[in-house]
Amino acid sequence: MSAENTQPDLEDLNVIVSGQGGDGSLTVVNLLASVLRQNGMSVYTERDVLSRIKGGITAATLRAFSGERFTIGNHIDLLVAFDIDAVPKNRRQLNKNSIVLYDNSGGSLPDGILGDEIRAFGAPLSRQAVKTFRRDIYKNSISFGLIGRILGLPDDTMRVSFESRFKRMGPQIMKYNLDALTVGLGLADELGFVAGKGLYRIQEIERKPHMLITGNEAMAFGFSVAGGRFYAGYPITPSTDVMDWLIKWSPKFGGVVRQAEDELSAINMAIGSALTGTRTMVATCGPGLSLMQEGIGQLGMGEIPLVIVDAQRGGPSTGMPTKPEQSDLNLLVFGGHGDFPRIVLAPGNPEDCFYLTVDACNLSQRYQCPVFIASDQALSQNTATIDPLDLERVVIDQGKRLDADDVSKLDTYKRYLFTEDGVSPYTIPGTPDGMSLVTGNEHDEFGLVSTDPVNRVRMVDKRQMKMKTMLPELPRAGRFGDLESKIGIIGIGMTFGVILEALDTLADRGIDAQYFQPRTLWPMLDETIEFINGCDVVYVVDLNAEGQLAGLFVREGADASRIRKLLHYDGTPIRSDAVVEFVVNDQTQALGAEEVA
Amino acid sequence: MSAENTQPDLEDLNVIVSGQGGDGSLTVVNLLASVLRQNGMSVYTERDVLSRIKGGITAATLRAFSGERFTIGNHIDLLVAFDIDAVPKNRRQLNKNSIVLYDNSGGSLPDGILGDEIRAFGAPLSRQAVKTFRRDIYKNSISFGLIGRILGLPDDTMRVSFESRFKRMGPQIMKYNLDALTVGLGLADELGFVAGKGLYRIQEIERKPHMLITGNEAMAFGFSVAGGRFYAGYPITPSTDVMDWLIKWSPKFGGVVRQAEDELSAINMAIGSALTGTRTMVATCGPGLSLMQEGIGQLGMGEIPLVIVDAQRGGPSTGMPTKPEQSDLNLLVFGGHGDFPRIVLAPGNPEDCFYLTVDACNLSQRYQCPVFIASDQALSQNTATIDPLDLERVVIDQGKRLDADDVSKLDTYKRYLFTEDGVSPYTIPGTPDGMSLVTGNEHDEFGLVSTDPVNRVRMVDKRQMKMKTMLPELPRAGRFGDLESKIGIIGIGMTFGVILEALDTLADRGIDAQYFQPRTLWPMLDETIEFINGCDVVYVVDLNAEGQLAGLFVREGADASRIRKLLHYDGTPIRSDAVVEFVVNDQTQALGAEEVA
Amino acid sequence: MTKTFTPARPIWCAGCGDFGVQQALENAMKNLGIEPHETVVVAGIGCSGSLQNNVRCYGYHALHGRVLPTVTGAKLANTDLTVIGVGGDGDGYAIGGGHLMHTLKRNPSVTYIVMNNGTYGLTKGQASPTSPNGYGENIEEDLDPILLGMSIPGSTFLARGYTGQPAQLLELTTAALEHAENGRGFAFLEVLSPCVTYNDTYREWRTDVYDVEQDPDYDASDKVAAFTRLMALRDQGRLPIGLLYRGERPALEEAALNHDFPPLALQDIDPSKLMDKYQQALESFMR
Amino acid sequence: MTKTFTPARPIWCAGCGDFGVQQALENAMKNLGIEPHETVVVAGIGCSGSLQNNVRCYGYHALHGRVLPTVTGAKLANTDLTVIGVGGDGDGYAIGGGHLMHTLKRNPSVTYIVMNNGTYGLTKGQASPTSPNGYGENIEEDLDPILLGMSIPGSTFLARGYTGQPAQLLELTTAALEHAENGRGFAFLEVLSPCVTYNDTYREWRTDVYDVEQDPDYDASDKVAAFTRLMALRDQGRLPIGLLYRGERPALEEAALNHDFPPLALQDIDPSKLMDKYQQALESFMR
Ligand SMILES: Cc1ncc(C[n+]2csc(CCOP(=O)(O)OP(=O)(O)O)c2C)c(N)n1
Ligand SMILES: Cc1ncc(C[n+]2csc(CCOP(=O)(O)OP(=O)(O)O)c2C)c(N)n1
Ligand code: SF4
Ligand code: SF4
Ligand SMILES: [Mg+2]
Ligand SMILES: [Mg+2]
Q: Beta strand pairing status for A537-542 and A487-490?
A: parallel
Top residue of B26, B51, B52, B53 to mutate, by most chain C CBs within 10 Å, is: B53
What is the spatial distance between Cα D107 and Cα D187, in angstroms, rounded to a whole number? 8
Average pLDDT over residues A402-425: 98
For ligand 3, atom 8, name the residue with the nearest CA: C16
In a domain, C224, yes or no: yes
> Closest-lying ligand to the alpha carbon of C118?
5
Is pTM, for the whole model, over 0.90?
yes
Which mutation among D120, D131, D142, D190 tests ligand 2's pocket best, with the greatest number of atoms within 8 A of CB?
D120
SS (H, E, C) D144-167: CHHHHHHHCCCCCEEEEEECCCHH
The pLDDT assigned to B316 comes to 98
* Kind plus residue range of the DSSP H or E element containing A438: strand A437-439
Average pLDDT over residues A505-532: 98
CA of B240 to the centre of ligand 5 (A): 16
Pairwise CB contact (< 8 Å): C102 & D94: yes
Percent of chain B with pLDDT over 70: 98
Average pLDDT over residues B62-82: 95
What is the spatial distance between Cα A72 and Cα A76, in angstroms, rounded to a whole number? 9
In a domain, D26, yes or no: yes
Long-range contacts of D138-144 (CB under 8 A, 24+ apart): D139/C252, D139/C255, D139/C256, D140/C105, D140/C106, D140/C107, D140/C154, D140/C252, D141/C105, D141/C153, D141/C154, D141/C249, D142/C153, D142/D118, D143/C101, D143/C105, D143/C152, D143/C153, D143/D93, D144/C151, D144/C153, D144/D230, D144/D234
Q: Encode pLDDT of B161-182 as tens digits.
A: 899 889 889 999 999 999 999 9
Q: In chain B, which residue's Cα lies nearest the Cα of A555?
A: B555
D121 touches ligand 2 (CB under 6 Å): yes
For ligand 4, atom 2, name the residue with the nearest CA: D195
> What are the φ and ψ backbone dihedral angles of A394, each rounded to 5 degrees?
-80, 120
> Which residue among C13, C45, C129 places its CB closest to the CB of B53?
C13
Question: Is the predicted ipTM greater than 0.90, yes or no?
Answer: yes
The pLDDT assigned to A594 comes to 59
The pLDDT assigned to A2 comes to 38
The pLDDT assigned to A39 comes to 84
For ligand 2, atom 9, name the residue with the nearest CA: D46
The pLDDT assigned to C280 comes to 98
The pLDDT assigned to A65 comes to 92
pLDDT at D183 over 90: yes
Pairwise CB contact (< 8 Å): B253 & D277: yes
B291 touches ligand 1 (CB under 6 Å): yes
Percent of chain A with pLDDT over 70: 98
CA of A21 to the centre of ligand 4 (A): 13
Residue B30's pLDDT band (boundaries 50, 70, 90)?
very high
Closest CA to B50 of B15, B91, B17, B22: B22
D18 touches ligand 4 (CB under 6 Å): yes
Residues with CB under 6 A from ligand 3: B 53; C 12-13, 16, 18, 47, 117, 121, 195-198
CA of C88 to the centre of ligand 5 (A): 5
pLDDT at A524 over 90: yes
Pairwise CB contact (< 8 Å): B235 & C123: yes
The pLDDT assigned to C211 comes to 98
Pairwise CB contact (< 8 Å): A264 & C37: no
C46 touches ligand 1 (CB under 6 Å): yes
Average pLDDT over residues B419-434: 98
CA of B235 to the centre of ligand 1 (A): 7
CA of D206 to the centre of ligand 5 (A): 46
Percent of chain D with pLDDT over 90: 99
What type of residue is B572?
A: T
Residue B40's pLDDT band (boundaries 50, 70, 90)?
confident
> Which residue among C94, C123, C127 places its CB closest to the CB of B262?
C94
The pLDDT assigned to B5 comes to 54
In a domain, C4, yes or no: no
Neighbours of B592 (CB within 10 A): 10
Residue B594's pLDDT band (boundaries 50, 70, 90)?
low
Peptide bond into B287 cis (omega under 30): no
For ligand 3, atom 2, name the residue with the nearest CA: C195
Q: Encode pLDDT of B383-409 as tens digits.
A: 999 999 999 999 999 999 999 999 999
CB contacts of B289 in chain A (<8 Å) are 337
Q: Encode pLDDT of A256-268 as tens digits.
A: 999 999 999 999 9
CA distances from A496 to A49, A352, A436, A563, C53 (A): 22, 11, 44, 18, 49
Q: Encode pLDDT of A540-569 as tens digits.
A: 999 999 999 999 999 999 999 999 999 999
In a domain, D147, yes or no: yes
Eight-state DSSP code of residue C213:
G
CB contacts of B49 in chain A (<8 Å) are none
The pLDDT assigned to B4 comes to 46
CA of B49 to the centre of ligand 5 (A): 20
Q: How far is D102 from chain B (nearest CA, A)?
A: 7
Which residues is B517 bridged to in the sheet?
B478
In a domain, C2, yes or no: no
Closest CA to A314 of A290, A296, A287: A287
pLDDT at B3 over 50: no
Q: How far is A236 from chain D (nearest CA, A)?
A: 7
CB contacts of C39 in chain A (<8 Å) are 429
CA of C90 to the centre of ligand 5 (A): 5
Q: Encode pLDDT of A165-223 as tens digits.
A: 898 899 999 999 999 999 999 999 999 999 988 888 887 777 789 999 999 999 999 99
Neighbours of A530 (CB within 10 A): 13
The pLDDT assigned to A593 comes to 65
In chain B, the N- to C-terminal Cα span, in Å, equals: 52
Q: Encode pLDDT of C233-265 as tens digits.
A: 999 999 999 999 999 999 999 999 999 999 999
Pairwise CB contact (< 8 Å): D143 & C129: no
Q: Encode pLDDT of C216-237 as tens digits.
A: 999 999 999 999 999 999 999 9
pLDDT at B1 over 50: no
* Kind plus residue range of the DSSP H or E element containing B190: helix B171-191
Domain that includes residue C268, residue range: 18-284
Residues of chain C with pLDDT under 50: none
Residue B154's pLDDT band (boundaries 50, 70, 90)?
very high
The pLDDT assigned to A113 comes to 84
Inter-chain Cβ pairs, chain C and chain D, closer than 8 A: 95
C89 touches ligand 1 (CB under 6 Å): yes
Pairwise CB contact (< 8 Å): C256 & A213: no
Atom number, ligand 1, closest to the C-alpha of residue C64 = 26
Q: Does D97 touch chain A (CB under 8 A)?
A: yes
What is the spatial distance between Cα A160 and Cα B104, in angstroms, rounded to a whole number? 97
The pLDDT assigned to C31 comes to 96
- A296 with A282: CB under 8 angstroms? no
Q: In chain B, which residue's Cα lies nearest the Cα of A287?
A: B294
What is the spatial distance between Cα A306 and Cα A321, in angstroms, rounded to a whole number? 25
Average pLDDT over residues A523-531: 98
pLDDT at A5 over 60: no
In a domain, C7, yes or no: no
CA atoms within 13 A on the CB side of C253: 29
pLDDT at B331 over 60: yes
Q: Encode pLDDT of A102-141 as tens digits.
A: 999 999 998 888 877 889 999 999 999 999 999 999 999 9
What is the spatial distance between Cα A577 and Cα A561, in angstroms, rounded to a whole number? 24
Residue A67's pLDDT band (boundaries 50, 70, 90)?
confident
Domain count, chain D: 1
Residue B159: exposed, middle, or buried by beta-carbon count in 10 A (0-12, 13-18, 19+)? middle
Q: What CATH number does residue C129 fall under?
A: 3.40.50.970
The full set of domains in chain B, from first to last, is: 12-191 (3.40.920.10), 212-393 (3.40.50.970), 478-596 (3.40.50.920)
Q: Encode pLDDT of A297-345 as tens digits.
A: 999 999 999 999 999 999 999 999 999 999 999 999 999 999 999 999 9
Q: How far is C197 from chain B (nearest CA, A)?
A: 8
CB contacts of C255 in chain D (<8 Å) are 139
Which mutation among D9, D11, D18 tests ligand 4's pocket best, with the greatest number of atoms within 8 A of CB?
D18
CA of C91 to the centre of ligand 1 (A): 6
Task: Quote the mean pLDDT of chain B.
Answer: 95
Task: Quote the mean pLDDT of chain A.
Answer: 95
The pLDDT assigned to A3 comes to 38
For chain D positions 53-72, those within 8 Å of chain B (CB to CB) are: 53, 56-63, 66, 68-72
Q: How far is B455 from chain D (nearest CA, A)?
A: 16
What is the spatial distance between Cα B105 and Cα A498, in angstroms, rounded to a whole number? 78
- By three-state DSSP, how is residue B291 classified? helix
In a domain, C124, yes or no: yes
What is the spatial distance between Cα C181 and Cα B498, in angstroms, rounded to a whole number? 57
In a domain, C10, yes or no: no
Q: Encode pLDDT of B296-316 as tens digits.
A: 999 999 999 999 999 999 999
Task: Quote the mean pLDDT of chain D.
Answer: 97
